[in-house]
């Protein structure tokens, strides 16, 4: 960039602070998929200030119109509050619509092939699930949950065996079929492990939270309402019950020994 300024624009003797302007960049992706754009904080702050000035101006006009009439002044205050509430609700609705639009129109270069094929991002973006409530049920096992702790240890053993199997496979075509979301065509790139070893720990943590959530929220009897409102299919519910029975039988065997 400096060389371009020197050769094309004759900026050889211009100081860096006069030649360059610092900007803040933002990106939702890392490394090769990174797409950057400039964040204009001053413009955002100016929009916020304009909104505040408009609210104060409206409130002042309502107050002036109601001078000498207590009931009129009070009514003006309520009108301002109602307008603020309406603006907030409109902003929430617009934000949801923008989020749905971007989830549907994500550039192909920024989306995994599995998401392109399954369209999970569009379905999940419409979820009204309470994420705060979800995090409470997805926490790691408490000291009084030894069965859940054993289940996560079993999951880690399964994952380690899968990683060993993946490492032992040297046939690229097999790995390409694994990476493809379609049964009709193989992927152009083989299925590979992330370069960072920390990534697998993060992925495993997500699955561990998912397992904890299912075991805590699935009801004991089919058809009952769950504590969070989540609904499982009958096949999913039966699988969870089989896991629970397996944990119970293992505990009984350990107790008799």
- Identify the weakest region by mean pLDDT among 14-23, 144-153, 181-190: 14-23
pLDDT at position 242? 94
pLDDT at position 170? 80
Which backbone phi and psi does 24 adopt, to 5 degrees?
A: -100, 125
The confidence band for 11, taking pLDDT boundaries of 50, 70 and 90, is low
- Contacts of 79-87 with CB under 8 Å at 24 or more apart are 80/55, 83/55, 83/58, 84/55
Highest mean pLDDT among 10-24, 48-62, 151-165, 215-229: 151-165
In terms of DSSP H, where are the helices of 105-228? 113-118, 120-125, 131-137, 146-168, 172-179, 197-217
pLDDT tens column, 98-110? 766 665 665 555 5
Query: How many angstroms separate the CA atoms of 238 and 218, rounded?
Result: 10
Query: Cβ(143)–Cβ(161) under 8 Å?
Result: no
Is residue 56 scored above 80 in pLDDT? Answer: no
Q: Find residue 26's DSSP bridge partners.
A: 37
Question: Region 140-144: what's the mean pLDDT?
Answer: 93
pTM higher than 0.85: no
Give Cβ neighbours of residue 217 (< 8 Å, ≥ 6 apart).
137, 226, 227, 228, 230
Give Cβ neighbours of residue 34 (< 8 Å, ≥ 6 apart).
27
pLDDT at position 189? 81
- What are the sequence ranges of the domains in the chain? 2-110, 130-256
DSSP-derived secondary structure for 36-95: -EEE-HHHHHHHHHHHHHHHHHHHHHHHHHTTT-HHHHHHHHHHHHHHHHHHHHHHHHHH
């Amino acid at each position: 960039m400096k060389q371009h300024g020197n050769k094309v624009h004759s900026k050889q003797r211009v100081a860096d602070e006069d030649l360059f302007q610092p900007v803040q960049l933002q990106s939702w992706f890392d490394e090769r998929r990174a797409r950057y754009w400039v964040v204009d904080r001053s413009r955002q702050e100016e929009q916020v200030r304009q909104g505040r000035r408009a609210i104060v101006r409206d409130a002042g006009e309502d107050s002036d119109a109601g001078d000498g009439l207590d009931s009129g002044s009070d009514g003006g205050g309520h009108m301002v509050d109602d307008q603020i509430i309406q603006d907030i609700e409109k902003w929430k609705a617009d934000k949801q619509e923008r989020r749905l639009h971007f989830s549907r129109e994500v550039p192909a270069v920024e989306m995994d092939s599995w998401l392109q094929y399954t369209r999970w991002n569009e379905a999940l973006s419409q979820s009204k699930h309470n994420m705060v409530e979800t995090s409470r049920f997805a926490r790691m096992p408490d000291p009084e949950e030894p069965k859940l702790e054993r289940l996560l240890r079993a999951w880690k053993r399964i994952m380690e065996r899968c990683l060993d199997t993946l490492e032992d496979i040297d046939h690229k075509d097999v790995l390409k079929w694994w990476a493809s979301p379609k049964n009709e065509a193989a992927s152009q790139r083989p299925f590979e492990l992330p370069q960072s070893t920390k990534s697998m720990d993060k992925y495993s943590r997500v699955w561990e939270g998912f397992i904890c959530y299912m075991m805590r929220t699935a009801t004991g009897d089919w058809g009952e309402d769950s504590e969070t409102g989540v609904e499982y299919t009958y096949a999913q519910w039966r699988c969870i019950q089989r896991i629970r029975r397996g944990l119970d039988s293992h505990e009984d065997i350990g107790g008799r020994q």
